[in-house]
Amino acid sequence: MFHPLSIIISFGAFLLLLMPTTGAGMVLTAAALAIGICLIAYKKAHQVAFRNNKQYFLIPVAMLIVAPYGQGFYDRWLSSSNLQAVAALLPMSIELLLLIASLILSGLSVYFLYAVLQVIVKKISDPNPQNDFARGLVACIYVSVVTVLLAQIMVGANALSMGNEKFMWGILIVSVAILFMYCLFGRIIPSVVFGAGLFMVISTINVYVYNFRGRLFEPVDVFSAGTAMNVAENYSLLPIPFGALIGWLFFAVVLIALYRLQHQTKRKLALQKRFVSLIICVIGSVAIFDYTTNLKTYHWEREGAINNGYILDFVSKLKEITPPKPDNYSIELVDRLADQYAAYQNNASQTELSKPPHIIVIMDEAFSDLRVVGQFTTNTEVMPFISSLKENTVSGYALASVYGGNTANSEYEFLTGNSLAWLSPNAVPYQQYLRTSSYSMVSYLKSAYHYKCVAMHPFQANGWNRPVAYQHLGFDACHFIEDFPQKHFIRSFVSDREMFEFLIKTFEAQKEESPLFLFGVTMQNHGSYTYRGKNYRQRISVERYGDKYPELEQYLSLIYETDKAVKYLIRYFQNADENVVIVFFGDHQPKINESFYEAVSGTTADTLDEQQKRYTIPFFIWANFDIEEQTIARTSLNYLSSYVYQAAGIPLPTYNKFLQQMEKTIPAINANGFYSPSAGCYLPLEEASQEERKWLQSYEALQYNSIFDTAHRNETFFPTLE
């Protein structure tokens, strides 16, 4: 039996866990405590006793709910000056005092919630047919609370860090899903399995995506499922992450409990009550849509789960699949900019050549210089040859919009001049937006200078929808894994050396026909970096850290092999009798153990400036003829084509004229923000100054016209390749 006095005491303990440290908060909590005591004691309190039916499966559920409140209590009071003064009078530290207090209060709170859950259980197990709908609603809310909490725990975020308001919206989202299934099935068990189970599956995928990529799983990632399956064999799904294991264990307990309580109920929910459920679903869906429309979403690591709660954050990001029309967008604005920049004269060309040179672009998988994050030393230099390139070379660092994956987005930014700044950073334009012929560097070189354009990638053709995307961008031919000799592998991927040999063979076979634009995307350095087996030899070791970062050492050993392959490529074209420009850059930094970044940088990347270091990749543009040497301290991939045109002596197209002028005010931009020379740091787009905002709004309008308003696409900026 649960005695009323025990309920009062445990209820008070639970409220103490929620008590804020402010004076007003204490008064409100005390008032709530008094009201709660009065309600429980009111009218024959001696009769208010909950019979213990030994539903012990409810204890872990109560612990699950209480745990984050216990942690919050500890964190809030740790910095309290009043409590520090009390602790000074006791023979113990404030940490130990708080630990004891939080454990005692949490234990009593579990007791209180256990009693409350018994009431819920009684309601759910009530066999009266008149209470079927009420029983279903109670079960729905109960499971929704558990599911929202489990989604947080599975990804390692504080279960209630999003605050009570967003916690309630998360519960509503899951409840709507369960109630919709309730309309279809008429029984609560299958409704929970399919409704709440959907979010459990999404949360499980999220655990793996976070472990492999260092970010949360988002709706746009569904478009990348095929590509993920292609490279899945290079990642281990075992052992099952602890968070996922705990999450499914708790969820299984809930399902078993519901089954035990309702397995004897054979009847389905009456039709009129299903209709009521449908009305509730519609109203809830409209409310959710309205709330999430203006909800700020987060894309850095676990910030979305921490600030919004993972389920609410996931649903909120549905709106990012197709961005809304910019507020300032108009056809007249685009036409005015087209007239302005079509007539704009620039001195873009560094070199005057009798005929256009061949252009070879290598986007090297996960190629980066991790010294931009922080300094560390290795047993030997990682990329001695690339670092030595100075003569006839333009080199520097560029911002990408992706980290640890989504390679195709870096291709897209380089080839089109567009930026992911106004798209979801995890959107993939190759899969979502390239549905017809689109303007690109490829289409410009083909239409204006009769280049033959060939793309190559030594991996599966279906990754990132490349065959279709390359066709829409204007490539004449594409080569994938089946076209390569596949004789030289490093780990399980075709080596950069074999990729470059294939590229040279293609060049030699077609160089006489017309100028060539060869675009190659490598695979050698693809994650993960835990490979053990043949075709790999560790060349690089990191000093000072011992064996602490084996993934890092494997990655750096791969970059060492890339450097040797680049040396082979450059040496070959140094002796070529045709003019050649070689462009080389990485697509993104690798996903390496988080503790490494913290160790070398001395920070947890709390600021945008620190975060952008992980989006910074090196590049160089080299020619086998005289070009002006340059070192570019800061740019971004959307601007890089302008430097290529300059090195090749090719006049800038109208879009690049705009980009070249914009770069003077906005030197670098990506999905996270832009560099502001006036502020001397990186800023989110919404914090741009008046002049910066003008450029950003014009760029956003042009990009929207290029990608989404295809019916009114401006032919001056974005001529269609016939």
Q: Where are the beta strands (DSSP E) in 302-388?
A: 358-364
Residue 668 pLDDT = 97
Confidence of residue 87 (pLDDT cuts 50, 70, 90): low
Confidence of residue 593 (pLDDT cuts 50, 70, 90): confident
Residue 350 pLDDT = 54
Instruction: Pick the most confident of 125-129, 314-318, 368-372.
Output: 368-372
Residue 481 pLDDT = 94
What are the backbone angles phi and psi of residue 27, rounded to the nearest 5°? -65, -45
- The residue with greater pLDDT, 528 or 47, is 528
Instruction: Give me the percent of the chain exceeding a pLDDT of 70.
Output: 76
- pLDDT tens across 248-287, in order? 887 887 777 777 665 545 556 667 777 777 888 888 888 8
Question: Considering only CA atoms, which of 571, 449, 559, 466 is closest in space to residue 520?
Answer: 466
Q: Is the pLDDT at 61 greater than 90, yes or no?
A: no
> pTM value?
0.68
Q: Is the pLDDT at 106 greater than 80, yes or no?
A: no
Average pLDDT over residues 637-666: 96
- pLDDT tens across 296-319, in order? 777 666 777 888 888 888 888 887
Average pLDDT over residues 131-151: 76
Classify residue 513 by its DSSP letter. Answer: T
| Cα(316)–Cα(323) distance, integer angstroms | 13
Averaged pLDDT score across all residues of the chain: 81
Residues 6+ apart with CB under 8 A from 584: 361, 362, 364, 367, 386, 566, 619, 620, 621, 622
- pLDDT tens across 335-363, in order? 999 999 988 776 555 556 678 999 999 99
Q: What sign results for the dihedral spanned by CA atoms 81, 83, 84, 88?
A: positive
**What tokens does 604 get?**
């947890």
Measure CA of the first residue to CA of the last residue in the chain; give whole Å: 82
Q: Is the pLDDT at 702 greater than 90, yes or no?
A: yes
Residues 6+ apart with CB under 8 A from 498: 458, 484, 485, 486, 487, 488
| Cα(200)–Cα(337) distance, integer angstroms | 49
The rounded Cα 392 to chain-centroid distance in angstroms is 38
Residues 6+ apart with CB under 8 A from 33: 11, 12, 15
Residues 6+ apart with CB under 8 A from 652: 346, 348, 642, 645, 646, 660
- pLDDT tens across 221-230, in order? 776 566 556 5
| Cα(503)–Cα(483) distance, integer angstroms | 11
| Least confident segment among 297-301, 446-450, 699-703 | 297-301
Q: Is the pLDDT at 23 greater than 60, yes or no?
A: no
Average pLDDT over residues 362-366: 97
Residue 132 pLDDT = 59
Residue 34 pLDDT = 47
Residue 27 pLDDT = 42
**Helical spans, DSSP H, in 156-241:** 164-185, 188-213, 225-231
Residues 6+ apart with CB under 8 A from 672: 299, 300, 401, 425, 608, 611, 612, 615, 682, 684
Whether 497 and 486 have beta carbons less than 8 Å apart is answered as: no
**Helical spans, DSSP H, in 79-131:** 81-88, 94-124
Residue 165 pLDDT = 78
Residue 10 pLDDT = 54
Residue 222 pLDDT = 74
Residue 58 pLDDT = 61
| Cα(157)–Cα(161) distance, integer angstroms | 7
Residue 227 pLDDT = 55
- The residue with greater pLDDT, 466 or 231, is 466
